[in-house]
Structure formats: C-alpha cells, structure tokens
Amino acid sequence: VQAVVPEVTIPPEVTPEKVTTHIIDTSSKSEDQDMLERELRKANVVCIVYAVDERSSFTQVHEYWLPLLRRQGVNLPVILVGNKVDMRDEDIGRATVLEDEVVPIMNEYREIEICVECSAKALLNVSELFYFAQKAVLHPTRPLYDARDHAMKPRCTEALVRIFRLCDMDGDSVLNDAELNEFQRKCFNTPLQQRELEGVKDIITASRPDGITSGGLNIEGFLYLHLLFIQRGRVETTWMVLRRFGYGDDLSLREDFLYPECDVPPDCCVELSPSGYAFLAEIFKRYDADGDSAFCATELDNIFSLSPGIPWKHSKFPESTVTNAAGNVTLEGWL
C-alpha cells in the first residue's frame, strides 16, 4: 500500500453538486512538512482520517492534526473520517473508537463540520464522505448554526428575518399562501402544490404552533422551518434561499448584488422606465404607514432597514430632494 496516494480528480458529472473535486493525500513525516503546508494553503476542505480499530491514530486527531491546523492558521471546514469501520465488527474484543468519543472533540473544535465512518475495503460510505466534503465547502453549516447551542447564529437569523420581510408583500407580518408560493418560485423556480403547502404548515404546527396563524406563516414559523432544514442535514436549502437574496458565504450582501453593473455609453443618459416608476411608486405606497403621501424619518428608516442604509445620507438628504412643508419626502421627491 502506498504511503501517500497520488492526486485523484473526481469529474463534475459524477458528483451531485456538479463540481470538480481534487483529492490530495499528505504525509505526516517531518521531511514532508513544507509540502503539507503548501497543500493546506490551497485546500478548500480538510479530511482527517483515523482508523477506528487503532486508538493511537484517533489520539493523533486531537493531539496532533487539529492543533496543527490551528497553529498554521488554517480556517477551513474539517471532516473527521473514521475508516476501517468493518474491523469494528470483526475485532469484537478489541478496543475500537466509538462514535460517542468523537462528540467532545467536535464540541472543542468547531471547525469540524461532521464525522463520517466508512470502510475503504468494503466501499462503505466512501462516496458519502466526498459528498459531505463538497457540501462543507459549497453549503457550510458553521456560518448558519451553533451546534453547541442547537440554534441558528445571529447573522443567519438577521438575514432570514430580512428575507421574510421582503417576501411579506402586504406587510401584515404573515406569509400567506400566495406569498409563500412567490417565495418558492423565486428561490427554487417551482411553486408549491397545495398538498405540499399544507404539509409544511402541519410540520410547523406540530412542533411550533405559534409559528402558524390563520393567515399563514409568521416569522417564528419561517425561522423554525429553516432551523429544521439545517438540523436535518438540508443546509443547502437555506443556502439556496440566502444566495438567491444576495448573501455571500460570510452572510453579508454581495457587492455584485448591491452594485450591479450598468454600462452607460458616454453619449447616453439613463432614466427610469414606466415599470420602474410603477415599482417605486408601489414601494412608496407600501411604506407610507400614516398615508400622508410623504415619508417621515421613521418611515425612511423602516424602508431602508431592508438595505445597508440610506444611500443619499452624505448628500444632505432629504433636503436635497422635494419635501413638503414638514420636511418629509413626497412621492415626487422619492421618484
């Protein structure tokens, strides 16, 4: 058996995520330390493999490998891999590493995404290992979920609350069936069948009855639904929603989403289209809470709470546009 296996490339067409995967094996020998550091700098995810029938290799995981990654400043998702699981059944009298022993290590080293047990000999869970490795890169759990507290992290919650408010078109703090279907179409390009819609409501009602009202799904139910996705290993569903609404891997709004390219030739100008005017007029009507046909400071703060902030705050806004006698922004000034 080779001490270090040559690089292996898995083509995109044979993986669920349709991405090319390069598998780089490394050595723990001191003379290979420089090569190990180079490969770690290029890596997207690290798989640390130990043998379940060899306790010393398991000890190396938390006494050598994980501390080494931290000393090197490697900030990557880690997959723990317990190999030779077939030997656990064969060597009943031998002290093998049990799954429960891994939990304290995962709690101490939060960079560990998951622990997978497999058998290279019996080809058990080998493909699943690389699936989880890809998933840890493309749909990481750590930015979204605190495994110790069994709760979503604040930035994930904040992003999902913003998405809920954007989808709540009538502003009643509830997503009705039409709004849920529009959300489903926007994120997944397909509407929910009525039976599926009722199934989602039943799941939430069973565990979080305060998440459903007579009108539909409220914010508590919306957040609970995504908590279920994450806890049940469907974190890619929440990531699809977040990315569709402009969020990057760090849960901040992406630059290309906030500032889309708009190439205007030097001899041309830009103006709003009729549909653009209609859209902005509808936004004005929706957020004019007191119905006085003008935006006061509170209403402006409310509308821009869904964005990084008021874009004209450094240009003497609102004095720089049309206001009424009270200094509030009128529809003309808004447009």
Instruction: Compute the half-sphere exposure of residue 150: CA atoms within 13 Å on the CB side of its CA.
Output: 3
12's CB contacts (< 8 A; 6+ apart) are: 18, 19, 20
pLDDT at 225: 95
For the record, the structure tokens of 301 come out as 């703060």
Instruction: Give CA–CA dist 253/260, Å, rounded.
Output: 12
**For 327, which DSSP code?**
S
Q: What is the pLDDT along the chain (335 residues), one digit of tens a residue?
A: 677 889 999 898 887 778 899 999 988 887 888 889 899 989 999 999 999 888 899 999 999 999 999 998 888 889 999 999 888 765 554 545 666 788 889 888 888 888 899 999 999 999 888 888 888 888 988 889 987 788 999 999 999 999 999 999 888 999 999 999 999 999 999 888 899 999 999 999 999 999 999 999 999 999 999 999 998 888 999 999 999 999 998 999 999 999 888 889 989 999 999 999 999 999 999 899 999 999 999 999 998 988 888 888 888 888 899 999 999 999 999 99
pLDDT at 96: 57
Q: How many other CB atoms are there within 10 angstroms of residue 216's CB atom? A: 20
Instruction: Compute the half-sphere exposure of residue 224: CA atoms within 13 Å on the CB side of its CA.
Output: 18
pLDDT at 91: 56
Write out 204-222 in H/E/C secondary structure. Answer: HHHHCHHHEECCEEEHHHH
Instruction: Give CA–CA dist 33/294, Å, rounded.
Output: 66
pLDDT at 311: 86
pLDDT at 97: 63
For the record, the structure tokens of 329 come out as 């922004």
Chain centroid, CA 88 distance in Å: 36
Instruction: Indicate the pTM of the whole model.
Output: 0.75
For the record, the structure tokens of 142 come out as 């750590």
Bridge partners of 80, per DSSP, are 48, 115
pLDDT at 99: 65
Packing angle, helices 177-188 and 235-244, rounded to 10: 90
**For 270, which DSSP code?**
-
